[in-house]
Structure 1
Amino acid sequence: MIVPERLIKGDWVYLTAPAKAIAEKDVLAAKEWLMNQGFHVEVAKNCLGQHHYFSGTDQERTTDFQEGLDNPKYKAILCARGGYGCARIVEELDWTQFAQHPKWIIGFSDVTVFHHKTLSLGIQSIHATMAFGIQKNTPFSLTSLSSLLFKGEVTVVSTPHPLNRLGSARGRLIGGNLTIVYSLLATPLKLDFRDNILFIEEVGEHVYKIDRMLQTLEMNGVFDQISGLVVGGITEPEDTTPPFGKDIETLICERVKHRDIPVCFGFPAGHGEENHAMCLGSNVVFETHSTGASLLM
Structure 2
Amino acid sequence: MITPPFLKAEDTVALVCTARKFFPEDAKPAIDLLESWGLNVKLGTTIGLDNFQLGGTDSERAADFQTQLDDENVKAIWCARGGYGTVRIIDALDFTNFKQHPKWIMGFSDVTVLHSQLNVERVASLHSIMPFTVPTAPEEVKETLRKALFGETISYIIPSKNYDVKGTASGELVGGNLSILYSLLGSKSAISTKDKILFIEDLDEYLYHIDRMMYNLKRNGYFENVKGIIVGSMTDMHDNEIPFGQNEVQIITDIAKEYHIPFAFDFPAGHQSDNRTLILGKHVDFEVNEKEIKLQFI
* TM class by smaller structure: over 0.9
2:273 corresponds to which residue?
A: 273
Q: TM-score, normalised by structure 1?
A: 0.98
Secondary structure of 1:286 counterpart: strand
Number of equivalenced pairs: 297
| Aligned 8 A contact 2:192 2:222 in 1 | no
Q: How does 1:1-297 map to 2 (within 5 A)?
A: 1-297=1-297
Deviation at 1:74, TM superposition (A): 0.4
Rounded to whole Å, the distance in 1 between the matches of 2:221 and 2:250 is: 19
- Structure 1 residues 42 and 155, CA gap change in structure 2 (3 angstroms): same
Counterparts of 1:23 and 1:210 in 2: how far apart (Å)?
Answer: 33
CA displacement at 1:72 relative to structure 2: 0.3
Distance, in Å, in 2 between the alignment partners of 1:139 and 1:294 is: 21
Deviation of 1:23 after TM superposition, in Å, equals: 4.4
| Structure 1 Cα separation of the partners of residues 55 and 294 of structure 2 | 36
Whether the aligned pair in 1 keeps the contact of 2:235 and 2:271 (CA below 8 Å) is yes
Instruction: Supply the AA of the counterpart residue of 1:150.
Output: F
The CA distance in 2 between the partners of 1:280 and 1:152, in whole Å, is: 15
1:183, 1:169 → 2: CA distance? 27
Q: Give me the CA root mean square deviation.
A: 1.0
After superposition, the C-alpha distances for 1:200-219 in whole angstroms (9 at most, x for unaligned) are 00001111111100010111
Which amino acid in 2 is paired with 1:73? N
Which residues of structure 2 form unaligned runs of 5+? none
Q: Give the letter for the 1:71 counterpart.
A: D
Kept in 2: contact 1:175–1:198 (CA 8 A): yes
Unpaired runs of 5+ residues, structure 1, are none
Kept after mapping to 2: 8 A contact 1:157/1:267: no
Contact 1:18 1:79 (8 Å CA) reproduced: yes
What displacement does 1:25 show?
A: 4.1
Deviation at 1:175, TM superposition (A): 0.2
1:208-237 superposed Cα distances (whole Å, 9 cap, x missing partner): 111100010111121221000000000011
Distance 1:144 1:59 in 2: 33
CA distance in 2, matches of 1:121, 1:97: 12
CA distance in structure 1 between the aligned counterparts of 2:18 and 2:88, rounded to whole angstroms: 9
> C-alpha separation between the residues in 2 aligned to 1:243 and 1:49?
42
User: What is the alpha-carbon distance in structure 2 between the residues aligned to residue 24 and residue 245 of structure 1?
Assistant: 45
Q: Secondary structure at the match of 1:55?
A: coil
| Cα deviation digits, residues 157-214 of structure 1 (max 9, x gap) | 2222121111110000000000111111111111111110000000011111111000
Which deviates further from its counterpart, 269-278 or 158-167? Answer: 158-167
* Matched AA of 2:53: Y
| 1:186 match: secondary structure | coil
Q: Report if the CA contact (8 A) 2:23-2:49 is conserved.
A: no
What is the Cα deviation at residue 152 of structure 1? 4.3
Offset at 1:246?
A: 1.1
- Alpha-carbon separation, structure 1, partners of 2:26 and 2:229: 32
**Distance in 2 of aligned mates of 1:42 and 1:164:** 43
For normalisation by structure 2, the TM-score amounts to 0.97
